[in-house]
Amino acid sequence: MEKDSWWTAPAESEDGHLIMVTGNKDVAKFRSNPRFCIRIEVSWNYTGDASGMPDTATSELMEQVQEALQTEFRKDPVAILTGIFTGDGKREWVFYSVSTHIFGKKLNQALEPFPLLPITVYCENDPGWEGYDEMTQAEIRFD
């Protein structure tokens, strides 16, 4: 991840647990393309520590998976990773894509070297990027 393109801020789940939100600021060219209208959530539920965060081994595996996903979509930019939510027993990667079919194929290619992972995928149409706009409300500006 390009350091200047991402921000991280704390947020709270509905039941008051810490959620670390990391957002991608470098989305303009994707957002302006009306084909990138499908919001896709790839979720990984885990058993968290007392604060709801993953243990070290799980966190390291999640980082490897994230790098594999980003590498796959850099090669063929049919989706852009826009946000990452971690906490309260769940890691969620949020993408915007042009196609659920192509996204699924690329997701499977990226995850092929890993053991079977406890992930689920949810998709919805979001042509106005309302989900992205809601996420950016968590950004803390240090200017």
* Six-digit token string for 70: 């980003």
Residue 12, in any domain of the structure: yes
Residue 17, in any domain of the structure: yes
Residue 120, in any domain of the structure: yes
Residue 19, in any domain of the structure: yes
Give strand ranges (E) for 2-143.
6-12, 18-24, 38-45, 79-87, 90-97, 119-125
This prediction's pTM = 0.92
pLDDT surpassing 90 at residue 3: no
Structural domain of residue 23, as residue ranges? Answer: 3-136
Model pLDDT for residues 95-130, shown as the tens digit of each residue: 999 999 999 999 999 999 999 999 999 999 999 999
Model pLDDT for residues 35-63, shown as the tens digit of each residue: 999 999 999 999 988 888 999 999 999 99
pLDDT surpassing 90 at residue 140: no
CATH number at residue 41: 3.30.70
**The total number of structural domains that make up the chain:** 1
Residue 143, in any domain of the structure: no
Model pLDDT for residues 77-91, shown as the tens digit of each residue: 999 999 999 999 999
